[in-house]
Structure 1
Amino acid sequence: MTRTVIAVGRQATFKDVTQNMREWHVSAVPVLEADGRVIGVVSEADLLAKEEYRDGVPAFAEPRERMEQLRKSGALTAGDLMTAPAVSVHEDAPLTEAARIMARKRVKRLPVVDGEGRLAGIVSRVDLLKVFLRADEDIAEEVRHDVLDMLPGANSPLLRVQVEKGVVTVMGELADSSLVPVAARLIRSVEGVVDVRFDLD
Structure 2
Amino acid sequence: MASLVLGASGAIVCGQPKELTGSNTKGFNSIPGFRGQLSSGVLHDKCLLGFSSTSSTQRKHAWWIARSVSEEAATEIEGGVMEVEDEATLEQYFREAGDKLVVLDISTKTCGPCKMIYPKLVKMSKEYPDAVFLKIMGDLNSGTRALMRKWGVRAVPNFRFFRNGELIHSHSGANEDELRRNFLAHYEK
* TM-score band w.r.t. shorter chain: under 0.3
Q: Where is the helix percentage greater, Structure 1 or Structure 2?
A: 1
When normalised by structure 1's length, the TM-score is: 0.22
- Which structure would you say has the larger Rg? 1
